[in-house]
Chain A
Amino acid sequence: MPAKNHLSRRRFLLQSGAFSALLGTEIVFHKYLPPGLLPVALAETNTIAGKDPGLVVLNDRPLNAETPAHLLDDKVTPASRLFVRNNGIPPEAPDSDNWTLTISGESVEQEKSWTIQQLKDNFKHYSYQLTIECGGNGRAEFNPPAKGNQWTTGAVGCPKWTGVRLKDVLQASGIKPDAVYIGYYGADKHLSGDPGKFPISRGVPIHKALEDEALIAWAMNDEPLPLLNGFPLRLVFGGWPASTSGKWLQKIAVRNQIHDGAKMTGTAYRVPCNPVAPGSTVDETQMCIIEAMPVKSLITFPKSGVSQALTEPMLVRGHAWAGDKKVTRMQLSIDFGQTWLNAPLSSPVNKNAWQHWQHKLRFPKPGYYEIWAKATDDTGVSQPMVLPGWNPKGYLNNATHRIAVQVI
């Protein structure tokens, strides 16, 4: 049955009061249901238009999907292989010609609006390769479990982004000396359909907003942004939780206080200010906002599960990144972390870009092996072997990536 009929049938079922019949009681919630919202159970597909069919869909409504490690092998992540994290309902067909971005807030001298063409005409263009990673990447390993989409390793990518510098656009409006934060607003809608609610409205401290690499971007890898990744305009802050890089960008508020939009407060994108034991209940006042992401790496070749001939060396490669810092050492272990080999590592093409490493490994005898990859940043901080600092919402898991190999 075509999908469209499916939908209309479900809508019809709902409106017909079938729920009352089903549940045998008056529906307390019926009046709360905004039009167009359907208690459908689940969709029947898990491939996404414009995306590699290998992406793993964690949630089909709203769409959330991650990229298996072996599909992140490219040095520059293709648009088709960048993960999708939606907090709300994306706009359906944004009109890039009539799209405007407004710069406002208590701490701008002068509110201004720009069309995308005006941004292109009035400001110098910059391209950077910037790593964006969801704060909850790795949540699936939390024990006790942390709620939310259960990302494993694939909510990260490093495409090339093109746009204008956020600082240039903010300076055109004039930034007051009391500015401390910027907050974004996008065109996505809240899942409840309530127009008074924002699904997400986050931001960064002004110092991050004024960095050279902080972009208002319209292109990914020299093409317009994919719809699911923010078309026609978005923010990009490399190295920080990707939730700071607002999609479908319509407004930036320069704030004289820490931005208090949706998912800035409560427990969202926050971790306990002081470390807690796994499973602890943490008061909201003791939760601090996540800033730069920690040092991390991925093995993107070979794919976990390969067989390897004992007589041949095995080429292993991947990427490493470290928030606002640089990765200075990359190490591999084939004996569960007892001994480590140093792998040659490239320099980043620019700040906040991931780095590449590769190495040829030999195995002493046939059998089951795991390859563990560990990066160390320029302040000497390394990836842990186990889940680091348990936190209630399951953020910042930068434990070493592992792949399994059978040597024959």
Chain B
Amino acid sequence: MIFLLKNRRMRRVWAALLLLLFCASGWSQGTTFKLAEDPDLPYVIAHCTACHSGSLITQNRMTRDGWLKTIRWMQKEQGLWPLGEHEERVLNYLERHYFPQTSGRRKAIAPHLMPKQNP
């Protein structure tokens, strides 16, 4: 529908509103790899999903320092821009949701590979 809006200015307003809406509702993430809902999520989407999908976040677990080092590495080697005042929020988000869990030396076989009849 928004493609039909001819007026440039109107389109901008619509776009901004829609984007806010999508981000707030999490709809824009699709269903495959869902980044954790959080007030800071829009900052993470804005800064961290331009080059690769958010699945590189959801697959990983790091300490705050680990995330910071990863960001510095991407800034040095991969063309990531300075996050400025948003860095703190992005790091808070990453630390909050994607922190390492302690686990044994070798985990049990993944649930989807287990027998259904296993009592």
Chain A residues in the interface with B (C-beta under 8 A): 5, 8-9, 12-13, 16-19, 21-23, 25, 27-29, 32-33, 37-46, 57-62, 141, 143-145, 147-150, 152, 190-194, 197, 266, 303-307, 368, 370, 385-387, 399, 402-406, 408
Contacts and interface: CB of A to CB of B under 8 A. Distances in A.
Contacts of B15: 12-13, 16, 18
B114 to A, nearest CB: 5
B7 interface: no
Contacts of B109: 304, 370, 402-404
Contact of A143 (B28, B103, B113): B103
Interface of B: 2-3, 11-12, 15-16, 18-20, 23, 28-35, 42-43, 45-47, 49-56, 59-62, 66, 70, 73, 77-86, 100, 102-107, 109-110, 112-118
Which residue of B50, B77, B103 has the most chain A CB atoms within 10 A of its CB atom?
Answer: B50
Interface of B is mostly: loop
A89 B33 CA distance: 20
19 contacts: A12-B15, A13-B18, A16-B11, A16-B15, A19-B46, A42-B30, A46-B32, A59-B56, A147-B62, A148-B60, A149-B56, A191-B52, A193-B51, A194-B79, A266-B73, A305-B112, A305-B114, A307-B116, A406-B115
B11 A42 contact: no
Given A39-B45, A399-B106, 15 more contacts: A19-B46, A22-B19, A23-B46, A28-B84, A39-B46, A40-B53, A41-B29, A42-B53, A42-B55, A147-B66, A149-B56, A191-B51, A192-B78, A193-B51, A387-B106
A406 B113 CA distance: 11
Contacts of B47: 29, 39
Given A59-B56, A150-B59, A387-B105, A45 B100 contact: no
Which residue of B15, B33, B73, B103 has the most chain A CB atoms within 10 A of its CB atom?
Answer: B15
Contacts of A148: 56, 59-60
B60 to A, nearest CB: 5
Nearest to B119: A368
B78 A191 contact: yes
A100 to B, nearest CB: 28
Contact of B60 (A28, A145, A399, A408): A145
Given A9-B2, A22-B23, A145-B60, A33 B50 contact: yes
A38 B45 CA distance: 10
A29 B100 contact: no
Which residue of A193, A306, A387, A404 has the most chain B CB atoms within 10 A of its CB atom?
Answer: A404
Closest 8 CB pairs of A and B: A192-B79, A406-B115, A29-B81, A304-B113, A191-B51, A21-B16, A32-B81, A61-B53
Given A25-B85, A147-B66, A149-B56, A41 B35 contact: yes
